[in-house]
């Protein structure tokens, strides 16, 4: 029988791999929508896609890690429910961050009629990193709240 910590490690690995695959598919699928172009891969180097996929993997792996943090603070919290809630929150944060990056890119493009080369990878990296950081802080805050109520 495996311990809960081994299962948590396996879940973090699984979510990391799923996030990597999601990140690998993110730019071709949504890059045109974010940057208002029909050829999003024309403006992105290969290394950016690989780093973006790794960042998505790390960000998505924060979901089961944060679930364990919350569950350690209050063991009565259901693992699956918390995992589903945090995964849904992560998706919402990816969408909201993508909308913000799209708005900033459109604003820069309309003001200058050019998009700086560094802005595209920076926007994609923000879309990958921000949801994971938000999940981690939200989980830490929730765990601290549970500890203060106990």
Say which residue, 1 or 18, is predicted with more confidence.
Answer: 18
Q: What is the pLDDT of residues 3-29, one digit of tens each?
A: 555 688 889 999 999 999 999 988 888
Judge whether residue 150 has pLDDT over 80.
no
Q: What is the pLDDT of residues 87-117, one digit of tens each?
A: 999 999 999 999 998 888 888 877 887 777 7
Banded pLDDT at 57 (limits 50, 70, 90): very high
Banded pLDDT at 142 (limits 50, 70, 90): confident
Q: What is the pLDDT of residues 34-44, one digit of tens each?
A: 777 666 667 77
Q: Inter-axis angle of helices 4-35 and 46-73, to 10 degrees?
A: 140
Banded pLDDT at 1 (limits 50, 70, 90): very low
What would the 3-class secondary structure string for the chain be?
A: CCCHHHHHHHHHHHHHHHHHHHHHHHHHHHHHHHHCCCCHHHHCCHHHHHHHHHHHHHHHHHHHHHHHHHHHHCCCCCHHHHHHHHHHHHHHHHHHHHHHHHHHHHHHHHHHCCCCCCHHHHHHHHHHHHHHHHHHHHHHHHHHHHHHHC
* d(C-alpha 107, C-alpha 93), whole Å: 21
The 10 Å Cβ neighbour count of residue 13 is 13
Judge whether residue 129 has pLDDT over 70.
yes
* d(C-alpha 21, C-alpha 52), whole Å: 10
* d(C-alpha 28, C-alpha 40), whole Å: 7
This prediction has a pTM of: 0.85
């Amino acid at each position: 029988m495996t311990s809960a910590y081994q299962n948590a490690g396996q879940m973090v690995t699984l979510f990391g791999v799923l996030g990597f695959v999601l990140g690998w598919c993110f730019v071709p699928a949504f890059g045109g929508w974010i940057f208002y172009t029909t050829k999003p891969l024309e403006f992105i180097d290969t290394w950016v896609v690989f780093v973006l996929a790794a960042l998505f993997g790390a960000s998505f792996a924060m979901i089961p890690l944060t679930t364990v943090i919350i569950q350690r603070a209050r063991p009565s919290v259901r693992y699956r429910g918390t995992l589903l809630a945090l995964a849904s929150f992560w998706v919402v944060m990816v969408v909201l961050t993508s909308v913000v990056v799209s708005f900033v890119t459109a604003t820069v493009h309309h003001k200058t009629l050019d998009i700086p080369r560094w802005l595209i990878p920076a926007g994609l990296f923000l879309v990958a990193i921000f949801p994971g950081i938000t999940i981690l802080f939200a989980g830490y805050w929730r765990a601290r709240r549970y500890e203060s109520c106990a």
